[in-house]
Amino acid sequence: MARKLAAGNWKMNGLKASLSEATALAEMFPAPKVDILLCPPATLVAAMAAALDGTKVDVGGQDCHPRSSGAHTGDISAEMLVDAGCDYVILGHSERRADHGESNALIAQKTIAATMAGLAPVVCVGETLDERESGKTLEVIRHQLSASLPDAVDFDKLVIAYEPVWAIGTGKIPTLAQIAEVHDDMRETLSARYGDDEAGKIPLLYGGSVKPGNAPEIFATSNVDGALVGGASLKAADFAGIVKALE
């Protein structure tokens, strides 16, 4: 059985004052039944890790460079995220694939770097609206999984997030049958590559307009082990509703 994970992605949102939302969330869940993760912007990673030290809420980065150090202005390595107090890193989010031209091959290199540094990579995949409407969803997801994941992964740490690009920040979500179809297919694809036991340990998160109101039905869907949440992770009260639905 895969562990359950409620992961929040703050994207490019949050100033120091926002850390009170993170500490409020931690206070609401002193002994959660599921894993909880917040991924703030890089400027807040160290401060959030310090503020959440000793709590049950983990901290993650939103990206890392494939190399551990060097002449890469503006980039952050997996080692730096660990040093700042992170346990996780989101990789291959569709906004990074679109805004920074990230390829599957680069995401695979980043996944190796994160794994070697001891981070749990949250590798994101998802189809565009055009791809869904032309019936290519499963083909796209299978290809992204195959090309974004390396052969050697830490199955106790790897997390996959299925995020349809057209559902992110739009308020639109696929039908539950569409989510189940993709999640079941991802589990089968991962089993074929890594074996049933190892693939069964990988949490498969759904992401895209998850809110406290729709979380219970999404979490009751086949092979959904949690969520990667953008907008509704910014406020402790909203994210708490999603965490409770997963518990």
**Phi, then psi, of 64 in degrees rounded to 5:** -145, 160
Q: Which residue out of 21, 65, 79, 93 is catalytically annotated?
A: 93
Binding window for ligand PEP (CB under 6 A); candidates: 48-56, 107-115, 142-150, 203-211: 203-211
163 is catalytic: yes
Q: Does 163 bind ligand PEP (CB under 6 A)?
A: yes
d(CA 126, CA 106): 16
Q: Per the annotation, does 157 bind a ligand?
A: no
Task: Answer yes or no: is 231 a known binding residue.
Answer: yes
Is 96 an interacting residue with respect to ligand PEP (CB under 6 A)?
no
77 interacts with ligand PEP by CB under 6 A: no
* Catalytic pick among 21, 79, 102, 163: 163
Between residues 11 and 157, which has the closer beta carbon with respect to ligand PEP? 11
Report how far residue 112's alpha carbon sits from residue 208's, in angstroms, rounded to the nearest whole number.
Answer: 26
Work out whether 115 is an interface residue with ligand PEP (CB under 6 A): no
Q: Is 246 in the site for ligand PEP (CB under 6 A)?
A: no
Shortest Å distance, C-beta 196 to ligand PEP: 28
> CA nearest 227: which of 168, 142, 141?
168
Q: Which of 2, 5, 6, 11 binds ligand PEP (CB under 6 A)?
A: 11
Is residue 79 part of the annotated active site? The answer reads: no
Residues 140-159 that bind ligand PEP (CB under 6 A): none
For ligand PEP (CB under 6 A), the number of binding residues is 14
Instruction: Using the minimum distance from each CB to ligand PEP, give the nearer residue, 106 or 218.
Output: 218
Which DSSP string do the residues of the chain spell out, in sequence order? Answer: -PPPEEEEE--S---GGGHHHHHHHHHH-SS-SSEEEEE--HHHHHHHHHHTTTSSEEEEES--BSSSSSS-TT--BHHHHHHTT-SEEEES-HHHHHHS---HHHHHHHHHHHHHHT-EEEEEE---HHHHHTT-HHHHHHHHHHHHS-SS--TTT-EEEE--GGGTTTS----HHHHHHHHHHHHHHHHHHH-HHHHHTS-EEEESS--TTTHHHHHTSTT--EEEESGGGSSHHHHHHHHHHH-
Nearer to ligand PEP, 85 or 164 (CB): 164
Q: Is 231 in the site for ligand PEP (CB under 6 A)?
A: yes
| 173 touches ligand PEP (CB under 6 A) | no
Q: State the binding site.
A: 9-11, 169, 209, 230-231
Residues labelled as active-site residues: 93, 163
Binding site residues, ligand PEP, CB under 6 A: 9, 11, 163, 168-169, 207-210, 228-232
